Structure 1
Amino acid sequence: MSITHPLPAPPRLLTGRHRVVLAVLLVAQFMLAVDFSILNVALPAIGDDLGFSLGGLQWVATAFALCAAGFTLFFGRIGDLLGRRRIFLGSLTILGVASLVGGLAPTPEILVAARVAQGLATAAATPSGLALLTTSFPEGPLRQKALGLNGALMSAGFTAGAVLGGVLTDVLSWRWAFFVNVPVALAVLAVAPAVIAESRPADRPRLDLPGALSVTLGLLGVVYGLTQAGEHGWTDPRAVAGLLAGAALLVLFLLVERRAAQPLVPLRVLARPAVAWGNLIGLLAFVTETSLVYLLTLYLQKTLGFSALAAGLSFGVLGLGTVAGGLLAPKAIARTSTTAVLVGGGLLQTVSTAALLALGDTAATMALLLPATFLGGVGNMLVIVGFMVTATTGLPDHQQGLATGLASMSQQVGITMGTPIMSAIVTAVTGGAVSAGAIRHGVVVAVAVNAALVLLGVLVAAVFLRAPRERRITT
């Protein structure tokens, strides 16, 4: 006789230990998010102080982006094999040392080397930290709450980095944009070993070296091509070569994985709709919101004449929106479904972004920009939390490093590719003109493309993802 019973409801309340684990991991993830943007405003000061050439200065950002995005999937899988806590703590140690070296750097070469080390540490710490977060909390309300807070602080960290970098550079020195990581890393390293349990697989398979090399080199090629396109345009030979080589290596990676006995990324995992479509939605979410910050920074400074610091402070409203979205997302998922939150959040972000098509050429337009960016931040964070829940749900704990590695890769590649795409659109529309009106027109066209990409994510969620049915067991 077959009787169905609903599975026991997952726990909803955080224990004291859960709160400490959550605080430690969230502080680390916030610091990692800040590093993506904290040096943007400081670049001119760094160039003047250390004597960077005009072409060489871009490598302060590019070296970090290449390593942070290119090695994420590889280190995510390494964490599955060797232990996520070990990788997490080791990478934070490297990040702290690299930040100290960067802050003390006397030459451009040492500074770029420190940025490479920071990027590699970020590539290892981000997926391992996220995997520790997902495995520390069972599927259900607690994990959704943890991912909501994580997403809110990550997005807020990206926004705060731009503001903090400007303040530190103006008040103290650009070197403090590096030094600020050191005490945070030390604090996390002091607490984490006592509260975070190690996770080691019972059976350690061999590392798929051909797969690891092909996917890492492929991602490096794509990210390099995107950064060169952002600097020199999409027809630049280095951009074209990087993108083509990267695409070819990623195709090779898929072929290698089909034949590997113990693949780095089992294709059956990639074939899961939640993983494949969830990561595409996440990629679009990070492409759109981070590049919108770039577009609005360009508009505020070149059209409205704001200072860099004033423009950065204007995004405090966006930061509040992302925090609100992160707090709202787990409650919305619990009451509806992940798919409903992806669609609803995406529609809110689409409408809010489309409202920016009415941007004017006077400061009065801030009455439109501020509420639109707040609501857009809420919608974007609903999508990001929905994506994180979707892409990491239904996989066993021993594959959480892989799942979070894929999610982190989507995040970091999205952050990297958004700005070059939007920059190329603005350049094409303006034809090189730098007047306030021309910049506004270019930004508006790029905003329209941005809104269309958000809407594409909504359509993907509505068509290819379905709300999970109630889980049942048969006895």
Structure 2
Amino acid sequence: MSGRQRLALAVLLTASFTLAVDFSILNVALPAIGSDVGFSLEHLQWISTSFALCAAGFTLLFGRVADLFGRRRLFLTGIALLGGSSLAGGLAQEPVVLLVARVAQGVATAMVTPAALALLTTTFPEGPQRSRALGLNGSLMAAGFTTGAILGGLLTDLLSWRWAFFVNVAVAVVVLAVAPGVLTESRPSTRPRLDVPGAVTVTLGLLAVVQGLTTAGASSWGDPAAWGSLLVGLVLLAVFWQVEQRVAQPLLPTAVLRRRTVAWGNVAGLLAFATETSLVFVLTLYLQDVLGYSPLSAGLVFGVLGVGTVAGGLLGPVVIGRVGARNAVVVGLLVQSAATASLVLLTTAPSSLALLLVATFVGGVANLVAIVGFMVTATSGLPDGEQGLATGLATMSQQVGITLGIPLMSAVVAAQWHGTSAEASPSLLAGVTTAVAVNAALLVLAAAAVAVFLRSRPWERPSERPGR
């Protein structure tokens, strides 16, 4: 890499890590925020939900906007919005101000994430350099999810939950000072028209789907509001698909989704994110409600998972270089499945912690190998002019996967957990092990689908396969 490429990579990785931290940094601070700002208990979830809705709902739109109007411009705009909204959130004294700030943070995340990934894939040519850059990006994003929970607890205990917002302000100032000098703008010479009907239907559709999944996680899958939102979302996405086949300049050219690498790569990515994030949720229940760990102690246990994900991000490009991106996804998912399946042996004995630590470390390594393979696969073979679209799709798969996994696994656990007290721990343990088994089975199905549907054609030379 040249010196300019290294600086560009540092800027983009810093932004990705910060955005990943934002997903989890406020979770442990919610009770303190509620008492300080004046949220009632039933409305506290909207601090997280408002952010997740916008981060997932607008990502595909902004991924395409980055292609059409300039990736660097959108990246810098999003970072500026992130800094301003974080400052407003840190100073908020009323619930409305805090919620508006969280909505703006979610929109900023939807702007920055696909733009940063598109800048990364266009800065580094397809091949080993891009695989290495995507591996580092995946490592830091995965580490950010874990770090956020730990950092949020430390900041809340030692300083104030407001510093969880103020940290973003400092990062935004540094990135805005350095980025203009190291990031190169790329956009078409002639600016096409934005597909407004497509933008409206896909954004509203994704918002409705994520709202439905979030409602299901917060209440239950029997909640009519959850199914109603999901139904509305699916109808809007169906309308979006019809719109895209009729407009002259579609937001999402349907030919892109007909590429096997894009379609099946994103299916693998969605399941990789859904299974790992939901496993963390399930194991959090196990650590706190079965073994009796405190929230901070449970968070520190997942530090081992964080180390595994960082190692997997560094190992991913090496594996891709040896066996190709498709095989890296398959191997990663299968190893993650084996590590996850071993957790069905968890018991109420404290000695089970050793099994949990080993399994989550191995699973974290394998999960990131699969995720790096998914990112390489989903962005391979596309021209630079469509990289924002490709990374927008990949980011959308990531966000929907994170949102989908927890309510699904929560429903599995709840089917056998009949109570909330310590006396209910045997039924909770049964729910945990059942969810673990379902999680492992989903990974095997995902690996099989990728192996079958992404088989190389006989006429493809090895150098033409994704990631080779």
TM-score bracket, shorter-length normalisation? over 0.9
Distance 1:392 1:242 in 2: 31
Shift of 1:470: 3.3
1:365 maps to amino acid: S
Over residues 199-236 of structure 1, what are the superposed CA-to-partner deviations in whole Å (9 max), with x where a residue is unaligned?
Answer: 11122211111111111000000000011001110111
Shift of 1:432: 4.0
Name the structure 1 match of 2:167: 180
Name the structure 1 match of 2:405: 418
Runs of 5+ consecutive residues of structure 1 not aligned to the other structure: 1-13
Shift of 1:316: 0.7
Q: 1:170 aligns with which of 157, 162, 168?
A: 157
Name the structure 1 match of 2:8: 21
Distance 1:336 1:422 in 2: 32
Distance 2:406 2:96 in 1: 26
Name the structure 1 match of 2:96: 109
The equivalences for 1:312-461 within 5 A come to: 312-432=299-419, 434=421, 435-461=424-450
Distance 1:437 1:224 in 2: 32
Q: 1:144 aligns with which of 117, 120, 131?
A: 131
Distance 1:359 1:427 in 2: 18
Residues 78 and 112 of structure 2 are in contact (CA less than 8 Å); yes or no, is this contact kept in structure 1? yes
SS of aligned partner of 1:430: coil
Q: 2:244 aligns with which of 257, 260, 283?
A: 257
Residues 418 and 428 of structure 2 are in contact (CA less than 8 Å); yes or no, is this contact kept in structure 1? no
Over residues 345-403 of structure 1, what are the superposed CA-to-partner deviations in whole Å (9 max), with x where a residue is unaligned?
Answer: 11110000001101111221111000100000011001100000000000000000000
SS of aligned partner of 1:119: helix
SS of aligned partner of 1:139: coil
Distance 1:379 1:471 in 2: 24
Identity of paired residues, percent? 64
Distance 1:259 1:186 in 2: 43
Deviates most, 424-433 or 103-112: 424-433
Distance 1:91 1:51 in 2: 29
Over residues 287-310 of structure 1, what are the superposed CA-to-partner deviations in whole Å (9 max), with x where a residue is unaligned?
Answer: 000111111111100001111000
Normalised to the residue count of structure 1, the TM-score between the two structures is 0.95
Name the structure 2 match of 1:132: 119
Name the structure 2 match of 1:3: none
Shift of 1:448: 1.0
SS of aligned partner of 1:180: helix
Alpha carbons of 1:184 and 1:432: their partners in 2 closer, same or farther (altered >3 Å)?
Answer: same
Distance 1:217 1:173 in 2: 35
Shift of 1:436: 1.8
Distance 1:450 1:40 in 2: 23
Name the structure 2 match of 1:11: none
Shift of 1:447: 0.9
SS of aligned partner of 1:234: coil
Name the structure 2 match of 1:39: 26
Shift of 1:62: 0.6
Distance 1:308 1:48 in 2: 19
Distance 2:373 2:104 in 1: 31
Over residues 251-308 of structure 1, what are the superposed CA-to-partner deviations in whole Å (9 max), with x where a residue is unaligned?
Answer: 1111111111111000000100000000000000010001111111111000011110
The equivalences for 1:44-123 within 5 A come to: 44-123=31-110
1:464 maps to amino acid: F
1:34 maps to amino acid: V
Name the structure 2 match of 1:224: 211
2:451 maps to amino acid: A
1:444 maps to amino acid: T
Runs of 5+ consecutive residues of structure 2 not aligned to the other structure: none
User: How many corresponding residue pairs?
Assistant: 459
Shift of 1:433: 5.1
Over the aligned positions, Cα root-mean-square deviation in angstroms equals: 1.0
Distance 2:40 2:268 in 1: 38
Residues 71 and 187 of structure 2 are in contact (CA less than 8 Å); yes or no, is this contact kept in structure 1? yes
Deviates most, 51-60 or 430-439: 430-439
Name the structure 1 match of 2:222: 235
Distance 1:105 1:31 in 2: 21
SS of aligned partner of 2:43: coil
